[in-house]
Amino acid sequence: MNPIDLLRPEVRSLKPYTIEHAEAPVKLDANESPYDPPAEIAQEIREALGRIHLNRYPDPAATRLKEQLAERTGVAPDQVLLGNGSDELIGYLITTFTGQGKGVCFPIPTFSMYGIIAAALGQRTIPVSLTENFELDPERLLDVARREKPQILFLASPNNPTGSAFAKEQVVRILDAYDGITVLDEAYIDFSQEAGFLKELPRHPGLVVLRTLSKIGMAALRVGFLVGRTDVIAQLEKVRLPYNVNACSQVAAQVMLEHEPVLREQIATIVSERRRLAVALSRTAGLQLFPSEANFLLFRTDRPRAVFERLLGDGILVRNLDQPGLLTGCLRVTVGKPEENDAFLTSLENFFEGGG
């Protein structure tokens, strides 16, 4: 018997999620925060980790962490569901709300896990193209939704990999007209001027908001969370795996969240560095820069591979997103520490000034 013969067809046709991976001293490819916790907080985390009983299961409800996240977000703890990263929560949403033959809709380009998880769970994926400027076209999306009747729609705002936040009126237009679950993925909201859609929850029963700690300095911990109506959260709880947030992650995130001013300061530095990078990139001839409300910037060039390789040669890893379609020629750079951003700009300037 060959186990491969027993594969579900939807898994057979999937490709593993791979990232063009290379090691580099300046890592600006994965939308992580460049900041480790300061030494005093790192020490506090080590001490808290030392108090964990490794032989015991963690608190299955992650009560304390959930309370902190609820407070930070301004909602009640029973409106919050925690996940092993928001990736896990995307899976729970699709498992809970889509049945056989139903579909999962999302604009493209966007975060690839919506499509990958939907396909792995046997769902029809229904991508709808953004405009050339990476904006939503609500009417096009609603037309597709009326025709295909997807049960869930994922909207990442600010969107990855494009960086911009969708216009609020357009999202509200969709929330008003679409008759399914709308997941507003706000992974990058901490870096945005926009307030996000938590306040819209009471007005839109089908709305859930997805957030993560990964982008604000805790990617290693894998803590994502989802905010919604309590009755929706109660249903999602049925499919959540027990102990999905491990004890080390719970404890370390708890300590980090007790230091909100430090997190705020790091976020403010990242936003001001994003602005500095944006000014410099917008002045670089040969580049087309797209607006960003996130902790990264997307830009287009005629020679994406050559730019990527020059940067890598100079020890700087960015993400090459060049592919046919809307992302032709596009590279994505995560905002790093000021000195890392300087190294990135110098390498890029040398490339363009030296004619490549």
Which residues form the interface with ligand PLP (CB under 6 A)? 31, 85-87, 111, 156, 160, 185, 187, 212, 214, 224
User: Would you say 246 or 284 has its CB closer to ligand PLP?
Assistant: 246
Tokens of 271: 């936003």
Q: Residues for the chain: how many in total?
A: 356
User: Would you say 17 or 57 has its CB closer to ligand PLP?
Assistant: 17
User: Would you say 330 or 348 has its CB closer to ligand PLP?
Assistant: 330
Instruction: Name the minimum Å distance from CB 119 to ligand PLP.
Output: 17
User: Would you say 73 or 160 has its CB closer to ligand PLP?
Assistant: 160
Instruction: Name the minimum Å distance from CB 233 to ligand PLP.
Output: 17
Distances (CA, A) of 26 to 38, 98, 206, 307: 19, 41, 41, 15
Instruction: Name the minimum Å distance from CB 12 to ligand PLP.
Output: 25
User: Would you say 219 or 280 has its CB closer to ligand PLP?
Assistant: 219
Instruction: Name the minimum Å distance from CB 159 to ligand PLP.
Output: 7
Instruction: Name the minimum Å distance from CB 293 to ligand PLP.
Output: 12
User: Would you say 112 or 284 has its CB closer to ligand PLP?
Assistant: 112
User: Would you say 87 or 348 has its CB closer to ligand PLP?
Assistant: 87
Instruction: Name the minimum Å distance from CB 223 to ligand PLP.
Output: 7
Q: What string of H, E and C letters represents the secondary structure of the chain? A: CCHHHHCCHHHHCCCCCCCCCCCCCEECCCCCCCCCCCHHHHHHHHHHHHCCCCCCCCCCCCHHHHHHHHHHHCCCHHHEEEEECHHHHHHHHHHHHCCCCCEEEEEECCCCHHHHHHHHCCCEEEEEECCCCCCCCHHHHHHHHHHHCCCEEEEECCCCCCCCCCCHHHHHHHHHHCCCEEEEECCCHHHCCCCCCHHHHHHCCCEEEEEECHHHCCHHHCEEEEECCHHHHHHHHCCCCCCCCCHHHHHHHHHHHCCHHHHHHHHHHHHHHHHHHHHHHHCCCCCEECCCCCCEEEEECCCHHHHHHHHHHCCEECEECCCCCCCCCEEEEECCCHHHHHHHHHHHHHHHHCCC
Instruction: Name the minimum Å distance from CB 188 to ligand PLP.
Output: 7
Four-point Cα dihedral 69, 75, 77, 78, nearest 10: -140
Residue sitting closest to ligand PLP (CB): 85
Instruction: Name the minimum Å distance from CB 292 to ligand PLP.
Output: 13
Tokens of 115: 């499509």
User: Would you say 69 or 348 has its CB closer to ligand PLP?
Assistant: 69
User: Would you say 214 or 341 has its CB closer to ligand PLP?
Assistant: 214
Instruction: Name the minimum Å distance from CB 92 to ligand PLP.
Output: 12
In the block, tokens 């936040």 appear at 165
